[in-house]
Amino acid sequence: MKILVYGAGVIGSMFAYKLKTGGNDVSVLARGKRLQDLKEHGLVIRDDIFHKEYETPIDTVEKLEKDDNYDLILVIMQRQQVSQILPILKENISPTIIFTGNNPSGADEYLEHIERERILLGFGGPGGYREDYRIIAAYVDNVILYVGELDCTMSERIKKIEKAFTESGIKVDLSENIDAWLKTHAAFISPLAMGSYAARHRNTRLGKEKELVTLALKGFRENLKALKDLEIPILPKKYRMLSWIPLLILRNKILKLMNSDFGRIALSGHADAAEMEMRKLTNDFQKVVENAKTKMDANKKLYELSFA
SS (H, E, C) 21-39: HCCCEEEEECCHHHHHHHH
Considering only CA atoms, which of 44, 74, 56, 45 is closest in space to residue 20? 56
User: What pLDDT score was predicted for residue 273?
Assistant: 72
Q: Which residues pair with 172 in a beta bridge?
A: 145
Judged on CB neighbours under 10 Å (0-12, 13-18, 19+), 106 is: middle
Q: Per-residue pLDDT tens, the chain, 308 aa: give them.
A: 999 999 999 999 999 999 999 999 999 999 999 999 999 999 999 999 999 999 999 999 999 999 999 999 999 998 889 999 999 999 999 999 999 999 999 999 999 999 999 999 999 988 889 999 999 998 999 999 999 999 999 999 999 999 999 999 999 999 989 999 999 999 999 999 999 999 999 999 999 999 999 999 999 999 999 999 999 999 998 888 888 999 999 999 999 999 998 888 877 767 777 788 999 999 999 999 999 999 999 999 999 999 97
User: What pLDDT score was predicted for residue 272?
Assistant: 74
Positive or negative, the CA dihedral 10, 12, 17, 22 is: positive
User: What pLDDT score was predicted for residue 238?
Assistant: 87
Domain spans of the chain?
2-176, 180-306
User: What pLDDT score was predicted for residue 300?
Assistant: 97
User: What pLDDT score was predicted for residue 127?
Assistant: 84
CB environment 223-246: b (16+ within 10 A), e (fewer) = bbbbbbeeebbbbeeebeeeeeee
Q: Convert the chain into a string of H (helix), E (strand) and C (coil).
A: CEEEEECCCHHHHHHHHHHHHCCCEEEEECCHHHHHHHHHHCEEEEECCCCEEEEECCEEECCCCCCCCCCEEEECCCHHHHHHHHHHHHHCCCCCEEEECCCCCCCHHHHCCCCHHHEEEEEEECCEEEECCEEEECCHHHCEEEEEECCCCCCHHHHHHHHHHHHCCCEEEECCCHHHHHHHHHHHHHHHHHHHHHHHHCCCCHHHCHHHHHHHHHHHHHHHHHHHHCCCCCCCHHHHHHHCCCHHHHHHHHHHHHCCHHHHHHHHHHHHHCHHHHHHHHHHHHHHCCCCCCCCHHHHHHHHHHCC
Fold (CATH) for 2-176: Rossmann fold (3.40.50)
Q: Which residues pair with 149 in a beta bridge?
A: 120
User: What pLDDT score was predicted for residue 145?
Assistant: 97
Distances (CA, A) of 32 to 15, 29, 38, 208, 305: 20, 11, 10, 37, 35
The structure's pTM equals: 0.94
Calpha distance 248→46 (Å, rounded): 35
User: What pLDDT score was predicted for residue 263?
Assistant: 83
User: What pLDDT score was predicted for residue 111?
Assistant: 97
